[in-house]
Amino acid sequence: MILTVTLNAALDITYRVPRLEPRSSHRVREVVERPGGKGLNVSRVLAALGHETLVTGFAGGPSGERLRTLLAEVTEEGPVGDALVPVAGNTRRTVGVVDEAAGDATRFNEPGPQITPAEWDRFLETYDGLLHDATAVALCGSLPPGVPVGAYGTLVRAARAAGVPVLLDTSGEPLVRGLAARPDAVKPNAGELAAITGTTEPLRAAEQVRRRGAHAVVASLGADGLLALTPDGSWRAEPPRRLAGNPTGAGDSVVAALLAGLVEGLPWPDRLARAAALSAATVRAPAAGEFDRAVYEELLPGTKVTAQLVAA
């Protein structure tokens, strides 16, 4: 089973309005609720690819209950196992208002419930237990209030001690602290890479991140594709064309493809080709955690993976 961790899961609510105007009332045309959070997106994509997967993290209060109900319902693509740890606080809601005239969205993200030290300890016990049955683990997203900033360092070390390959996808100080524990891979996007290295040159930044502890760095560069520095070699991967659509969750699909390719024993270039095609197909789907299967199958054969020269 592939395990994903989302410490700051969310109940994602989208309102559609004909046109968004400040200081006025709006008639909401449609309300859609979805399970939200980066690891949950990864697991949904993995399930759709036919992999057995389980999500853990925290869920609490009425919005936590709703999140779990929705998670149980997203099984048309494939079942996602629920090992979320109950907490006293209410799971955060993320609210997006889609302006149908402009075709864009305005988002409001709650910070998340305060996690108590006892709840964090309970999570660590659950996580250690789940690692026994995991073939790989992904640690995804931001930390809720109350969780120590070094949390990902602790979770990376536990995975490595259990012999489970671990991929970290987060930003800022939690990423810096996780890197020091030497994860098997990290997947920063261009902004996350620049923020922790101080350089906007992706190759130099990725080399620096690798020196700081990651065995492999897969940098996602939006429509420019992927840059990967791995123990087996370095490559760039690009989909055959740029796609217009909704890029939210494209990075989560990169993580899903990398984990799927790892547990299937694929060589790195094949993992990267799949990651580029799958993430592009995610841009063509309406929401994070989903992808357009026909677009994925159409793009995969034309996805280019080329060797990248790196500093010795």
Please, is 259 exposed, middle or buried when counting C-beta atoms within 10 Å of its C-beta (0-12, 13-18, 19+)?
buried
> Is residue 252 among the annotated active site residues?
yes
Residues 248-267 that bind ligand ATP (CB under 6 A): 248-252, 254
Asked if 168 interacts with ligand ATP (CB under 6 A), we say no
Sign of CA dihedral 142, 146, 150, 152: negative
Q: How far is the CB of 229 from Mg ion (least distance, A)?
A: 18
Cβ-contact 308, 234 below 8 angstroms: yes
The encoded tokens of residue 282 equal: 């995610």
**Residue selected from 276, 285, 300, 305 as contacting ligand ATP according to rule CB under 6 A:** 276
**Residue selected from 283, 285, 300, 305 as contacting ligand ATP according to rule CB under 6 A:** 283
The secondary structure of residue 19, as a DSSP letter, is S
Asked if 280 interacts with ligand ATP (CB under 6 A), we say yes
**Residue selected from 220, 230, 234, 303 as contacting ligand ATP according to rule CB under 6 A:** 220
Per CB under 5 A, which region of 118-126, 132-140, 244-252, 272-280 contacts Mg ion? 244-252
Angstrom distances, CA of residue 45 to CA of 30, 212, 279, 290: 25, 30, 10, 6
**Contact letters (x/-) for ligand ATP, 174-203, by CB under 6 A?**
---------------x--------------
Interatomic CA distance for residues 188 and 164, integer angstroms: 21
Interatomic CA distance for residues 152 and 19, integer angstroms: 41
Interatomic CA distance for residues 153 and 161, integer angstroms: 12
**Residue selected from 225, 261, 269, 289 as contacting ligand ATP according to rule CB under 6 A:** 225
Q: Which residues bind ligand ATP (CB under 6 A)?
A: 189, 220-223, 225-226, 239, 242-243, 247-252, 254, 276, 279-280, 283
Catalytic positions are: 252
